[in-house]
Amino acid sequence: MKTITEYKNKKVLVLGLAKSGFSAAKLLHDLGALVTVNDGKPFEDNPEAQDLLALGVKVVTGSHPIELLDEDFSLMVKNPGIPYTQPLVQKALEKKIPILTEVELAYQISEAPIIGITGTNGKTTTTTMIERVLNTGLSKGTARLSGNIGFPASSVAQEVTSDDCLVMELSSFQLMGTQTFHPTIAVITNLYEAHLDYHGSREEYVAAKWNIQKNMTNEDHLVLNWNQTEVQALAKTTKATVVPFSTKEKVEGAYLFEGQLYFKEEAILPVDQLGVPGKHNVENALAAIAVGKLWGIDNQAIAKALSVFTGVPHRTQYVDKIEEVVFFNDSKATNILATEMALGGFDHERLILLAGGLDRGNGFDELVPSLEGIKAIVLFGETKHKLEDAAKKAGIPTIKLTENVETAVPIAFELSEKGDTILLSPANASWDQYPNFEVRGDRYMAAVAALKK
């Protein structure tokens, strides 16, 4: 890692721990900063705080006393999930204390160039596709996953060399806390409305995403979804060299044409050879192709990586095939848009959908067009009756109600015939019955496995 001295003997407050906060605090301590950590979890239940205290880091846990900022801090490193409306953060803003997230630290110490990926949907899948493409075709060095994908960027950045690259998933929350962050290649998968409770408006949300390119030059490449007119308009405001991708038209980048995925007139692979289904995954693959080509990966390696990639857990993930019935797990579809995108990749006449959970006060009328033509639907959780109304409006001939994912699987299998697909894509949050979408997806996969017993 690069040796930097700018934090030596500087007083830094790290607000919020979890993986990224722990990593940032430890790194800053190693760089000679005088670190204070503040986390809401009580000390006795906080192993990260205990470990940092053992290293000599000052630790304040259990609450967020505003008096902490009576000290003369030079910097706050904030956990991305903590909103800017939080009182300590508000006070830091009043005192004009710079507020960063740990991806900024990662950039400052990384010897490796960074490929940054953001967007509303598809970030994790696209990030993983890019990592697979690069590692299939690199002649030296390694592409390392980092960032919002579960590997703290400031930890991975300490391990890489100039031969490697950091493939970094970035949320809008992380990007708000950047100043000098500068990827060599940046990808924006798409822009929809999201996280308005955090950002306050769509404009602020988009501005946070657009931060990814603010320090890029014309020597850098910005890979953009040309299907969106909003993104095309934003493209006129960047200094980076824009590389578009599109499923709707030929572009000077990556595109879909007559069943083939291309990059600038070079056919890479047939779309039906992608290892994951769904129109949204075609977009994700095009973004990965663009990055692969920009990084110098040959077409054969790109095609190989994308054809064997079967998905990220809980994101249109292939699960199993039982008696000629195929199962997919899209538990990450916690809203209507995500389920609409998943449904676009399947033959509705042979599809049985499992959906339900906890809504956000919304109805499901906008989902109706995407449900039309589906063979059968099995509904569970708090929203099953709301979804039943939508399914009836869509004219789905077979509608079954049940308690949860575990009971939905055998019902769906009983309804299925050879050649059918059973898809869990809930269009809802999981919190009515499960602590998170991962647990919901795991229970689904366990129920599928139980069908074999």
Range of the domain at 162: 103-308
User: What six digits make up the tokens of 153?
Assistant: 């960027």
Q: Which of 245, 276, 308 is the last residue of a domain?
A: 308
| pLDDT value, residue 345 | 84
The CATH number of whichever domain residue 270 belongs to comes to 3.40.1190.10
- Do residues 216 and 278 share a domain? yes
| pLDDT value, residue 158 | 97
d(CA 408, CA 415): 11
124 assigned binding-site residue? yes
CA distances in angstroms from 292 to 118, 178, 239, 247, 308, listed in the order given: 17, 26, 21, 18, 16
Q: With CA atoms as reference, report the closest residue to 100 among 40, 193, 16, 160.
A: 16
In a domain, 5, yes or no: no
Contact criterion met (CB below 8 Å) for 291 and 185: yes
pLDDT, tens digit (0-9, with 9 covering 90-100), for 191-211: 988 788 888 899 999 999 999
Taking residue 239's Cβ as centre, other Cβ atoms within 10 Å add up to: 13
In a domain, 25, yes or no: yes
- Do residues 244 and 114 share a domain? yes
Contact criterion met (CB below 8 Å) for 354 and 422: yes
Which residue type does 36 have? T
In a domain, 442, yes or no: yes
200 assigned binding-site residue? no
How many structural domains are present in the chain? Answer: 3
Q: Which of 256, 278, 308 is the last residue of a domain?
A: 308
pLDDT, tens digit (0-9, with 9 covering 90-100), for 382-400: 999 999 999 999 999 999 9
- Do residues 66 and 121 share a domain? no
User: What six digits make up the tokens of 110?
Assistant: 């990384």
Produce one character per residue of 356-386: b if its CB has 16 or more CB atoms within 10 Å, e if not. bbbbeeeebeebbebbeebbbbbbbbebbeb
- Do residues 78 and 89 share a domain? yes
| pLDDT value, residue 200 | 85
120 assigned binding-site residue? yes
- Do residues 107 and 93 share a domain? no
In a domain, 6, yes or no: no
The CATH number of whichever domain residue 362 belongs to comes to 3.90.190.20
180 assigned binding-site residue? no
- Do residues 323 and 303 share a domain? no
- Do residues 267 and 383 share a domain? no
- Do residues 431 and 300 share a domain? no
Contact criterion met (CB below 8 Å) for 366 and 383: no
Q: Which of 282, 308, 334 is the last residue of a domain?
A: 308
In a domain, 67, yes or no: yes
* Three state DSSP letters for the chain: CCCCCCCCCCEEEEECCHHHHHHHHHHHHHCCCEEEEEECCCHHHCHHHHHHHHCCCEEEECCCCHHHHHCCCCEEEECCCCCCCCHHHHHHHHCCCCEECHHHHHHHHCCCCEEEEECCCCHHHHHHHHHHHHHHHCCCCCEEEEECCCECHHHHCCCCCCCCEEEEECCHHHHHCCCCCCCCEEEECCCCCCCHHHHCCHHHHHHHHHHHHCCCCCCCEEEEECCCHHHHHHHCCCCCEEEEEECCCCCCCEEEECCEEEECCEEEEEHHHCCCCCHHHHHHHHHHHHHHHHCCCCHHHHHHHHHHCCCECCECEEEEEECCEEEEECCCCCCHHHHHHHHCCCCHHHEEEEEECECCCCCCHHHHHHHCCCCEEEEECCCHHHHHHHHHHCCCCEEEECCCHHHHHHHHHHHCCCCCEEEECCCCECCCCCCCHHHHHHHHHHHHHHCCC
- Do residues 295 and 224 share a domain? yes
The CATH number of whichever domain residue 43 belongs to comes to 3.40.50.720
- Do residues 371 and 402 share a domain? yes
In a domain, 202, yes or no: yes
Which residue type does 316 have? T
Mean pLDDT in consecutive groups of 10 residues from the start of the chain, 453 residues: 95 94 96 97 95 96 96 95 94 96 97 97 95 97 95 96 98 95 98 84 94 98 98 98 98 98 97 91 97 98 96 91 96 93 92 95 94 98 97 98 98 98 97 96 98 89
418 assigned binding-site residue? no
List CB contacts of 239: < 8 A, sequence separation 6 or more.
213, 216, 217, 218
Q: With CA atoms as reference, report the closest residue to 132 among 342, 341, 285.
A: 285
Q: How many CA atoms lie within 13 A of 79 on its CB side?
A: 17
d(CA 101, CA 170): 11
In a domain, 425, yes or no: yes
- Do residues 210 and 224 share a domain? yes
- Do residues 116 and 47 share a domain? no
In a domain, 181, yes or no: yes
List CB contacts of 116: < 8 A, sequence separation 6 or more.
147, 168, 170, 181, 183, 185, 186, 187, 212
